[in-house]
Amino acid sequence: MFAVYAESFSPEDPLSGLTIGERPEPDVPDGWTTVTVKAASLNHHDLWTLRGVGIKQEQLPMIIGCDAAGIDEDGHEVVVHSVISDPSFSGADETMDPKRSLLSERYQGTFADKVTVPRKNVVPKPESLSFEEAACLPTAWLTAYRMLFVQGGCRPGDTVLVQGAGGGVSTALIALARAGGLKVFATSRDETKRQRALDLGAHAVFETGERLPVTVDAVMETVGQATWLHSIRSLRVGGTLVTTGATSGNMPPDMGLTRIFFLQLRVIGSTMGTRGELASLVTMMDATGVRPVIDRVLPMEDARQGLEAMAQGDIFGKIVFTR
């Protein structure tokens, strides 16, 4: 079948290991289903994979891609939940399974004609969402949902700061926070992206690192090193920082430790979300009419072009591949 896969890793030149060609049809273990992929979306995770982060040499070749929407074996339109828990895991929150993995880490990913997942890892796609829109939800939008409403404990009326407005997760954070009744601040390095964040629903936008007019209840962090200290400094006493990524590096020169303990800040990690949270997100999208920001839609054959744009940071929202 057609597939976009990693044949080798390169931390410096991640696209050098990208291959677009043919891979064998997937094996289907008992209790798993095969989804015919109609659309898949790109995440920074796919660049990390090509850099060799979170995956071992012996797992190559690996089809990349965490996100997909398509049609399952029974003909149902579905959204794929990318968090695969270990069969021995019996807890309610798959993200807390120490042996969990995301598609394209242990199991083959979604940039292909077909992807195979445990039957419980599909969620019905409502008619109101296109395949392209639904394909944006399983990683970036689910991560944003959990950051805000689960780990961040954000409530209507709270004020939240979203760092790095242009990213897939960040655009989801802005749109979901606005739909959830929060006051939304956002930062970006780029004037055009700041304007687009306002159009998307942010109440106010700031240059990266600019002092805010007031402190906020919560900060949503995906950028890491480049914005960490500003995030800490932007919080009110007892405020919450939710961290889920470190695109710019994971070694801030100053962690703001003194401020963290004096102001009794809470620093909370967040990763992906549960199947139940994905179902709630899908319902929220259906009910509110909020839709993912799609930067561009490309045929999956042009995946290299999408990855190049992401590597250059030249995007606002999600890049979607169609089959």
Among 114, 35, 46, smallest CA distance to 72 is for 35
Task: Return the residues of window 98-117 that contact ligand NAP according to CB under 6 A.
Answer: none
Q: How far is the CB of 15 from ligand NAP (least distance, A)?
A: 14
First to last CA, the chain: 12
Instruction: Determine, following the binding rule CB under 6 A, whether residue 193 of this chain makes contact with ligand NAP.
Output: yes
Per CB under 6 A, 167 contacts ligand NAP: yes
Q: Identify the bridge partners of residue 299 per DSSP, sorted by sequence position.
A: 322
Measure the CA–CA gap between 184 and 157, rounded to whole angstroms.
10
Supply the DSSP symbol for 59.
G
Structure tokens at 304: 């290299």
Task: Show the binding pattern over residues 21-50: x = contacts ligand NAP (CB under 6 A), - = does not.
Answer: ----------------------xxx--x--
> Does the protein bind ligand NAP through residue 223 (CB under 6 A)?
yes
The correct pick among 166, 256, 292, 306 for binding ligand NAP (CB under 6 A) is 166
Q: CA-to-CA distance for 225 and 92, rounded, in angstroms? A: 33
Kindly tell me which of 179 and 309 has the beta carbon lying closer to ligand NAP: 309
> Which one, 265 or 319, has the nearer CB to ligand NAP?
319
Residue 169 contacts ligand NAP per CB under 6 A: yes
Distance CA(25)–CA(27), nearest Å, equals: 7
Shortest Å distance, C-beta 43 to ligand NAP: 4
**Least distance in angstroms from the C-beta of 140 to ligand NAP:** 5
**127 CB neighbour count, 10 Å cutoff:** 8
Minimal distance in Å, beta carbon 281 to ligand NAP?
Answer: 13
| 36, 59, 89, 189: which one binds ligand NAP (CB under 6 A) | 189
DSSP conformation letters of 208-270: TTPPPSS-EEEEEESS-TTTHHHHHHTEEEEEEEEE---TT-S--S---HHHHHHTT-EEEE-
Distance CA 322, CA 113 (A): 10
The reply on whether position 310 binds ligand NAP by CB under 6 A is yes
**Residue in 226, 263, 267, 298 binding ligand NAP, rule: CB under 6 A:** 226
Residue 279 exposed, middle or buried by CB count within 10 Å (0-12, 13-18, 19+): middle
φ and ψ at residue 23, rounded to 5 degrees: -135, 155
Q: Which one of 69-77, 199-207, 241-249, 286-294 is the stretch in contact with ligand NAP (CB under 6 A)?
A: 241-249
Does 97 help bind ligand NAP (rule: CB under 6 A)?
Answer: no
The reply on whether position 162 binds ligand NAP by CB under 6 A is no
| Smaller CB separation from ligand NAP, 134 or 140 | 140
Query: 249 to 288, contacts with ligand NAP by CB under 6 A?
Result: 271-272
Residue type, 257: L
Which ranges constitute the DSSP H helices of the chain? 44-51, 131-134, 142-145, 168-179, 191-200, 228-233, 257-262, 275-288, 303-311
> Given the rule CB under 6 A, which residues bind ligand NAP?
43-45, 48, 139-140, 143, 164-170, 188-190, 193, 208, 222-223, 226-227, 244-248, 271-272, 310, 313, 315
